[in-house]
């Protein structure tokens, strides 16, 4: 087994990156010639970088900061954040920034369908200009027990929900990432349930904290963070923050996310941060603040309880509200 020890938080990657699901993967690899053939597809990332035209919304950055959203810690260094990512479409390791540059992000459209008055396909630049953007400082807590603090730019998801005009019967929003195995090498591994999917309840989607991100650190979103549109729900573990979204489907069926599909006992629908509920393989009581060497106690709802605890009132007994 390939175990990579990381400085600082020092957890073997096989444990620290639960999404790797090493055992499942090994079983798959042992299990089939198809798997072996598919794994040999990986091309060197440096050969795939696409030359992009200037982002058509670049003039909107830096967006005005919304001072309602403050931090209890310094913002993470941009370079560090941009080189320590989870974007499994481009590789199972944290250093996928270079490989992610292969993703073409213009033209980019977002489909809105399912239980809505009328299906729509929106051009990303038209959407961004129509809704307008602001900057917010958010904490980010990964299920792997590390955290960062990020200046995201974007708009409340409530604005997209309003544009979508969902029917009263819609209970959830299902979000989907692009599917492009030509540039995203891991998507050629057909034993994973691509495309990446995540879901929220309608109440979660409409909460003021739920943010659709278009930029970071005062400029358009770098590809490795999920350009041109990703989700930020800072009271939930990071795997809920789906990247490079192409589709929002309003539905009455609870969506099954990518990780839930792979390992439902470890990565559930709700995934709200709770230091008292350990992951089956490690504690969630504290987190390594990336770039500082500091270990901090993790806060319930990642410190956002005042804004979101009400969403879960009455559900405690019927739902498992933590990853």
The only residue of 61, 88, 269, 322 in contact with ligand MTE, by rule CB under 6 A: 88
Q: Please report how the helices 124-131 and 157-164 are oriented relative to each other, as an axis angle in degrees rounded to 10.
A: 110
**Distance (Å, rounded) from C-alpha 219 to C-alpha 133?**
11
Burial 88-120 (b: 16+ CB within 10 A, else e): bbbbbebebbbbbbbbebeebebebbbbbeeeb
Residue 197 CA neighbour count, 13 Å, CB half = 20
Please report how close the Cβ of residue 3 comes to ligand MTE at its closest, in angstroms: 19
**Distance (Å, rounded) from C-alpha 258 to C-alpha 242?**
10
Please report how close the Cβ of residue 266 comes to ligand MTE at its closest, in angstroms: 12
Q: Is 247 one of the binding residues for ligand MTE (CB under 6 A)?
A: no
Residue 215 CA neighbour count, 13 Å, CB half = 25
User: Binding segment for ligand MTE among 24-32, 86-94, 201-209, 270-278 (CB under 6 A)?
Assistant: 86-94
Q: Is 152 one of the binding residues for ligand MTE (CB under 6 A)?
A: no
If the CB atoms of residues 174 and 225 are measured against ligand MTE, the closer one turns out to be 225
If the CB atoms of residues 170 and 242 are measured against ligand MTE, the closer one turns out to be 242
Residue pointed to by tokens 């923050």: 241
Which residues sit opposite 173 in a β-bridge? 200, 250
The only residue of 136, 139, 225, 247 in contact with ligand MTE, by rule CB under 6 A: 225
Q: Is 133 one of the binding residues for ligand MTE (CB under 6 A)?
A: no
Please report how close the Cβ of residue 90 comes to ligand MTE at its closest, in angstroms: 8
Instruction: Note whether 96 and 224 are within 8 A (CB).
Output: yes
Q: With CB under 6 A, what is the number of residues at the site for ligand MTE?
A: 17
Please report how close the Cβ of residue 20 comes to ligand MTE at its closest, in angstroms: 10
Q: Is 48 one of the binding residues for ligand MTE (CB under 6 A)?
A: no
The only residue of 101, 177, 272, 302 in contact with ligand MTE, by rule CB under 6 A: 177
Instruction: Note whether 229 and 110 are within 8 A (CB).
Output: yes
């Amino acid at each position: 087994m390939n175990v990579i020890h990381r400085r600082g938080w020092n957890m073997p990657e096989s444990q620290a990156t639960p999404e790797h699901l090493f055992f499942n993967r090994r079983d798959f690899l042992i299990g089939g010639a198809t798997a072996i053939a598919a794994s040999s597809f990986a091309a060197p990332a440096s050969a795939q970088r696409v030359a992009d035209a200037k982002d058509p919304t670049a003039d909107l950055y830096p967006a005005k900061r919304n001072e309602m959203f403050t931090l209890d810690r310094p913002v993470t260094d941009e370079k560090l954040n941009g080189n320590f990512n989870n974007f499994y479409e481009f590789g199972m390791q944290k250093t996928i920034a270079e490989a992610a540059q292969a993703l073409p992000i213009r033209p980019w459209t977002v489909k809105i369908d399912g239980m809505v008055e009328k299906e729509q396909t929106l051009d990303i630049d038209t959407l961004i200009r129509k809704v307008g953007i602001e900057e917010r400082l958010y904490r980010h807590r990964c299920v792997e027990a590390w955290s960062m603090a990020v200046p995201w730019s974007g708009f409340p998801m409530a604005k997209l929900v309003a544009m979508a005009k969902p029917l009263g019967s819609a209970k959830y929003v299902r979000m989907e990432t692009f599917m492009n195995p030509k540039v995203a090498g891991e998507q050629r591994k057909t034993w994973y349930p691509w495309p990446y999917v995540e879901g929220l309840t309608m109440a979660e989607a409409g909460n003021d904290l739920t943010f659709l991100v278009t930029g970071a650190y005062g400029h358009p979103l770098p590809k490795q963070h999920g350009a041109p549109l990703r989700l930020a729900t800072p009271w939930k573990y990071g795997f809920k923050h789906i990247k490079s979204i192409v589709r929002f489907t309003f539905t009455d069926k609870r969506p099954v996310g990518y990780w839930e599909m792979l390992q439902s006992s470890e990565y559930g629908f709700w995934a709200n941060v709770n230091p008292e509920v350990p992951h089956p393989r490690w504690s969630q009581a504290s987190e390594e603040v990336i770039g500082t060497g500091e270990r901090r106690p993790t806060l319930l709802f990642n410190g956002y309880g005042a804004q979101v605890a009400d969403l879960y009132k009455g559900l405690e007994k019927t739902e498992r509200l933590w990853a």
